[in-house]
Amino acid sequence: MLFGLLPSSRLPGIGTGAERARVKPRAQAINTRARLYIVLMLLALGSTALIVRAIDLQIVRKDFYQEQGDARFLRDMAVPVSRGSILDRNGEPLAVSTPVDSIWADPQKLLEHADRLDELATALGIDADLLKQRLNQRVDKEFVYLKRHLNPDDAEAITKLGIPGVSSQREFRRYYPSGEVMAHVLGYTNIDDRGQEGLELAFDGLLAGAPGSERVIRDNLGRVVEHVELTRKPEPGVDLTLSIDRRIQYLAYRELKAAIIDRHASSGSMVILDARNGEVLALVNNPSFNPNAKEKTDPHFRRNRALTDVVEPGSTMKAFTIAAALESGKWKPDSKVDTNPGTYQISNLTIHDVHNHGLLTLTGVITKSSNIGAAKVAETLPKDNLYDMYHRFGFGESTGSGFPGESPGFLPIVKAWGPVEKATISYGYGLNVTPLQLAQGYATLANDGRLRAPTFVKGALNPDNAVIDPQIAHTIMGMLQTVVMPGGTAFPGAVVPNYFVAGKTGTARIAHAGSYQNRYISLFVGIVPASDPRLVGVVIINDPGGGQGGAYYGGTVAAPIFSKVMDGALRLLDVPPDNVQHWYAGGPEVATPRIAPAPAGDEDSTAEEAVP
Amino acid sequence: MRSLGIAVLLLLLAAVVASAVGVVYARQESRSMFVELTRLIGERDDLNFEYGRLELEQATVAEANRIEQIARTRFGMISPQPATTVVIKR
């Protein structure tokens, strides 16, 4: 039908006249119009097919192709934000993030240029075979870190080599200028700069911020050629101002560390609270670790003993027993307790005092730290009242400081109390507290009997509520002052020149495998100045003498640390001295003998055989 | 009537051309400003990082232990004893 099907020789006008004569006349004249229609139809069909295809591509399957196209050059790139700094209460930096660069590679692309691997390995300072092995293992991935956290200048030197598939990525690394002094409070972050421990973990959401995201167009070499839009605004981390005072923290750490070395103790903690608002001014533990190189340290050095470890509070508990006694109305500060003859039997438990203190007043029970006195006082009180008193002071419950991993301690439920338990708990055995809980309890006494949960954030004032009558709190403060006066268990160890100190010593035997060993914990809790409480300090020295003997009483081991730290802290905080008269009378004189060993006879009692 | 139509057409044509040029210009302007913005953000970040580094350096140099060592060993300073402290009233 078509022209092409006709042999060319038969085309009209081409052949000769003779040939033309031989051509058979067509049966029908050629219908040019029909041919035209056919051609047009075919063309229309073709173009319709094209249009249909175009619609299919442009409209029906547009999303799919758009996506495929975008996937080849549009990229969502994270906009890294730096982690907020942690500052002390005076704005000194304690933890700062600085930018570092991490080198990464696309293994497929890099392996196409295997000839440059040696050069890369040299630049990275790693073994070439190891590098090859790592790349081959991850050949189906598109991303592999080659080296992380490089100095930006070093990283630039590597990317400048121009090896295909090798790029750098901005990251942040955390530095802690105060090192081991702050290590436990601050905690640390992992390699991705997320908080793992301590306040870094507690406030991770706030400090980390939220990385932004932007859409960019990249060429086939992965270079950004155009920024399209910001899909998520980056929110940098917020700076966190702590209640910690770096100078007091350092002072506490220095004295604690020196004492632990000096006394051959295994560990120790110190907590200092601001008595007025519950802010933690210092919280130190020793042994400690360097958070800038934490990989090398023994994991148990990382334990925040002041918050996660519990101790039996020993005699420091007596202040709360006396509070219950005063509240009951059965006892007055000058009520008499007979502690003769220095031992006392309750069913199968024999309670000992270090010396026979004879007839004591209620104040004297605190001054001399008589176990028998405390037990006899407790005997006269209903166990519910005692439990209630300890519980009101926050024992057996987490303080609510928000610190990760904080232990709630352990106060046995009242049902489990028999006469023996009641006696032992009254002088601080058979229950567990954290050093921070102890500080909180004494801060309550200092704060007119109003309990306020401690906080690590400056200005975050927790609400306080009254747990005992202010009058009782004042009476106990007065009794606690006698502890740091001649005849008291903490004299002259805890004396802070120019200031009145209220405090309580404690010595507890360390419970081990169901019995008590000849290893001790020395405690001292103090409040200074006693006339207008400003600072509350808890010192705990674990196992002084290392089980090899030597002094272990709270008044001899722990109290001098309190004295030295508070002496410096009060000066740093510009706290005015208590009164000039006392300063003339007691200050300069007692400054010298406080280094000398405490005279025998003023020692703190230790419970020799508390029930396991 | 016809000449008015042509005039309107020409005017519209000119407006189209002008807006096309305007789009090109605005696009170019936005590109160059974006480049400038990116550069300034980078500069700001670098300055912030530099500040952070300096702050860190300052904190390291002002570390209490270091200051104490220098004060005690190099300058022979001591903490004042209570006996040598005078309390004054302001």
Q: Identify the CATH number of the domain in which residue A179 sits.
A: 3.90.1310.10
A92 → closest Cβ in B53, B59, B83 = B59
- Asked if A523 contacts A313 with a C-beta cutoff of 8 angstroms, the reply is yes
Question: Which DSSP state fits A577?
Answer: P
Length of chain A: 612
- Asked if A320 contacts A374 with a C-beta cutoff of 8 angstroms, the reply is no
- Whether residue A4 has pLDDT greater than 50: no
Q: How do residues A408-467 score in pLDDT, each as one tens digit?
A: 989 999 888 888 888 999 998 989 999 999 999 999 999 999 999 999 999 888 888 889
- Whether residue A250 has pLDDT greater than 90: yes
Q: Which residues of A does the annotation mark as catalytic? A: 315
Residue A37 lies in a domain: no
- Asked if A103 contacts A159 with a C-beta cutoff of 8 angstroms, the reply is yes
Judgement on whether residues A345 and A469 belong to the same structural domain of the protein: yes
Mean pLDDT is highest, among A119-133, A404-418, A594-608, for: A404-418
> How does residue A390 score in pLDDT terms, banded at 50, 70 and 90?
very high
- Higher pLDDT: A13 or A88? It is A88
Spatial separation of the C-alpha atoms in residues A515 and A49, rounded to whole Å: 94
What's the whole-model pTM score? 0.77
Q: Identify the CATH number of the domain in which residue A450 sits.
A: 3.40.710.10
Per-residue pLDDT, averaged over A508-523, amounts to: 80
Question: Domain extents for chain B?
Answer: 2-74
Per-residue pLDDT, averaged over A599-606, amounts to: 42
- Whether residue A220 has pLDDT greater than 80: no
> How does residue B9 score in pLDDT terms, banded at 50, 70 and 90?
very high
Q: What's the confidence (pLDDT) of residue A330? A: 87
Q: What's the confidence (pLDDT) of residue A389? A: 92
Residue indicated by tokens 């009537």: B1
> How does residue A581 score in pLDDT terms, banded at 50, 70 and 90?
low
Task: Say how many C-beta atoms besides its own lie within 10 A of residue A241's C-beta.
Answer: 18
| Distant-in-sequence, close-in-space partners of A470: CB < 8 Å, separation ≥ 6 | A448, A449
Asked if the Cβ–Cβ distance from B59 to A99 is below 8 Å, we say no
Per-residue pLDDT, averaged over A238-254, amounts to: 93
Q: What is the percent of chain A with per-residue pLDDT over 70, rounded to a whole number? A: 88
Q: Is the ipTM of this complex over 0.90?
A: no
B87 → closest Cβ in A175, A250, A498 = A498
- Whether residue A592 has pLDDT greater than 60: no
The residue of chain A with its CA nearest to that of B34 is A227
Q: How do residues A520-572 score in pLDDT, each as one tens digit?
A: 899 999 998 988 899 999 999 998 886 666 788 888 889 999 999 998 899 88
Per-residue pLDDT, averaged over B13-31, amounts to: 93
> How does residue B51 score in pLDDT terms, banded at 50, 70 and 90?
confident
Task: Say how many C-beta atoms besides its own lie within 10 A of residue B2's C-beta.
Answer: 6
Q: What's the confidence (pLDDT) of residue A433? A: 93
- Higher pLDDT: A459 or A2? It is A459
What is the least distance, in Å, from the CA of B69 to any CA of chain A?
12
- DSSP characters over A443-487: HHHHTTTEEE--BSBTT----EEE-S-HHHHHHHHHHHHHHTSTT
- Whether residue A256 has pLDDT greater than 90: yes
Q: What's the confidence (pLDDT) of residue A593? A: 34
Per residue, what are the HEC states of A332-391? CCCCEEECCCCEEEECCEEEECCCCCCEEEHHHHHHHCCHHHHHHHHHCCCHHHHHHHHH
CA-CA distances (angstroms) from residue A468 to A392, A587, A605? Answer: 8, 33, 27
Asked if the Cβ–Cβ distance from A96 to B59 is below 8 Å, we say yes
> How does residue A78 score in pLDDT terms, banded at 50, 70 and 90?
confident
CA proximity to A533, closest of A596, A455, A439:
A439
Per-residue pLDDT, averaged over A333-360, amounts to: 87
Asked if the Cβ–Cβ distance from A178 to B34 is below 8 Å, we say no
Per-residue pLDDT, averaged over A504-526, amounts to: 83
Q: What's the confidence (pLDDT) of residue A153? A: 82
Spatial separation of the C-alpha atoms in residues A215 and A211, rounded to whole Å: 14
**Does any CB of chain A come closer than 8 Å to the CB of residue B85?**
yes
Per-residue pLDDT, averaged over A280-307, amounts to: 87
**Does any CB of chain B come closer than 8 Å to the CB of residue A580?**
yes
Take residue A406 and report the two structure tokens written for it: 């904080």
- Whether residue A25 has pLDDT greater than 70: no
Asked if the Cβ–Cβ distance from A177 to B85 is below 8 Å, we say no
> How does residue A2 score in pLDDT terms, banded at 50, 70 and 90?
very low
Domain that holds residue A87: 77-241
Q: How many domains does chain A have?
A: 2
- Please give the helix or strand (H or E) that residue A67 lies within, else none: helix A62-73
What is the least distance, in Å, from the CA of A147 to any CA of chain B?
21
Asked if the Cβ–Cβ distance from B59 to A93 is below 8 Å, we say yes
Residue A322's identity, in one-letter code, is I
Judgement on whether residues A237 and A250 belong to the same structural domain of the protein: no
Instruction: Work out the angle at residue A51's Cα, subtended by the Cα atoms of residues A45 and A56, and round it to the nearest 5 degrees.
Output: 125
Judgement on whether residues A237 and A272 belong to the same structural domain of the protein: no
Q: Residues 23..42 of B with a Cβ closer than 8 Å to A: which? A: 31, 34, 38
Spatial separation of the C-alpha atoms in residues A288 and A266, rounded to whole Å: 12
Q: How do residues A79-122 score in pLDDT, each as one tens digit?
A: 878 888 999 999 888 998 888 888 888 888 888 887 888 888 88
- Whether residue A234 has pLDDT greater than 90: no
- Whether residue A596 has pLDDT greater than 50: no
> How does residue A604 score in pLDDT terms, banded at 50, 70 and 90?
very low
Length of chain B: 90
Q: What's the confidence (pLDDT) of residue B63? A: 82
Mean pLDDT score of chain A, rounded to an integer? 83
Spatial separation of the C-alpha atoms in residues A452 and A437, rounded to whole Å: 11
- Higher pLDDT: A236 or A242? It is A242
Q: What's the confidence (pLDDT) of residue A47? A: 95
Judgement on whether residues A339 and A373 belong to the same structural domain of the protein: yes
What is the least distance, in Å, from the CA of A553 to any CA of chain B?
26
What is the least distance, in Å, from the CA of A483 to any CA of chain B?
22
Q: How do residues A143-195 score in pLDDT, each as one tens digit?
A: 888 888 888 888 888 888 888 888 888 888 888 988 889 999 999 898 888 88
